[in-house]
Amino acid sequence: MLFHTAQFGLFLIAVLGLSAALSKHRSARHVVLLAASYIFYAAWSVKYLGLIVFSTLLDYVIGDAIWRTEDPRWRKILLALSLTGNLGVLAVFKYYGFFAENLQALLNAVGLHVSMPALQVLLPVGISFYTFQSIFFNI
């Protein structure tokens, strides 16, 4: 679903209308907006929907745990888990190829001839944006 299409226009009008209708029901409105975000993302590629759902669940659960605890040490551990999970996903999808190629070149240069496995996936749309937005939820 591209921004300049009639399909997106109708989707946007429906989401905004439903959101306005639920303006007095904050939790329901949040669920509708989250579902609309997932639907919009899945319209690009359903197979990458799991990434954004993973990021959402990871940071919601960790954010809730950070909010509930008063122990500063535990909060730092939880934040580190959030950062590790989010940046790990970003590293795999965005930087794996770069590091694999350079590691292979380095190993070949020292006489270890190895073949690093290639990751044959498209870079998910907006992965950097939603990763950093998700991280800032817990900071």
DSSP secondary-structure letter at 27?
A: H
The predicted-structure confidence for 14-62, as pLDDT tens digits, reads as follows 999 999 999 999 999 999 999 999 999 898 889 889 888 999 999 999 9
Domain ranges for the chain: 1-44, 46-138
Is pTM beyond 0.85? Reply is: no
Mean of the per-residue pLDDT values of the chain: 90
**130/51 Cα distance (integer angstroms):** 10
- In Å, what is the CA distance from 47 to each residue of 61, 93, 115, 124, 125? 23, 14, 27, 10, 12
What proportions of the chain, in percent to the nearest 5, are helix, strand and coil? 80, 0, 20
**81/124 Cα distance (integer angstroms):** 22
